[in-house]
Each structure stands twice: as C-alpha cells, then as structure tokens.
C-alpha cells in the first residue's frame, strides 16, 4: 500500500501558549553566547564559551542549538535578535544538509 505521511511542522510563526520562553544573545568581543529563561520565580542563565574563530553569527546560532538540546522534548518560544540565526532555524526543518568549509557550522549540526 502507498502511504503518505503528514508531517507536523515544528516551527510556528506565533508564540506557543504554555511553552518555555528563552532569550538568546551573543557577544563578538567576549566570544560568548548566552540564553536566559524564567523558571519558578527566578531568571536563570547559561553562558556558552565560543571558539577562537567564531563569528557573531555562529555564536548566536550556538546559543539556539544549546537551547534546542536543553529543551529537546519541551515546547519552546525562542527569542533572538539575530536575523541570520532565526533564518537558519526557519529553514532547517526542510533543508538538505551538506558539509561546508566552516567547521564550526558542521559541528553545530552534527
């Protein structure tokens, strides 16, 4: 029998009700990325050390990747000021991945 699978998109253009909301950011000079979220009555944060050759864009993307790994099975709202990182996330669901020259990008999606 010929079956067609209907896939549910994992990305929404509207904030999800009842989801964890996480804010991400990165600093080019500090070579660090961070994300913050509200848990209970407190704001929590996690810092991520970048690599020596990281660009601001790869740092921003690293923060989002860490968020996805931390809350892998939890509905999320991710807020980022990086058009690059948001664009990658919006397109990744239907993308075919290939190796690129930037080893850091390869590691983020491995």
In a domain, 32, yes or no: yes
Residue 44 predicted with pLDDT over 70? yes
Residue 99 predicted with pLDDT over 90? no
In a domain, 9, yes or no: no
In a domain, 1, yes or no: no
In a domain, 63, yes or no: yes
Residue 82 predicted with pLDDT over 90? yes
* E runs forming strands in the chain: 20-27, 32-39, 42-49, 76-79
In a domain, 40, yes or no: yes
In a domain, 11, yes or no: no
Residue 6 predicted with pLDDT over 60? no
The percentage of the chain sitting over the pLDDT mark of 90, rounded to a whole number, equals: 64
CA dihedral sign, ordered 92, 105, 59, 70: positive
The range of the structural domain enclosing residue 73 comes to: 20-108
Question: What domain count does the chain have?
Answer: 1
Confidence of residue 66 (pLDDT cuts 50, 70, 90): very high
In a domain, 26, yes or no: yes
pTM for the model stands at 0.78
In a domain, 53, yes or no: yes
């Amino acid at each position: 029998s010929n079956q067609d699978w209907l896939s549910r998109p994992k990305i929404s253009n509207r904030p999800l009700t009842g989801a964890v909301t996480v804010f991400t950011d990165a600093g080019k000079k500090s070579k660090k990325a961070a994300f913050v979220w509200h848990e209970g009555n407190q704001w929590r944060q996690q810092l991520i050390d970048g690599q020596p050759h990281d660009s601001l864009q790869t740092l921003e993307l690293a923060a989002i990747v860490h968020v996805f790994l931390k809350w892998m099975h939890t509905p999320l709202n991710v807020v980022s000021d990086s058009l690059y990182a948001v664009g990658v996330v919006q397109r990744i669901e239907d993308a075919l991945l290939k190796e690129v020259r930037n080893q850091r990008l390869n590691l983020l999606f491995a």
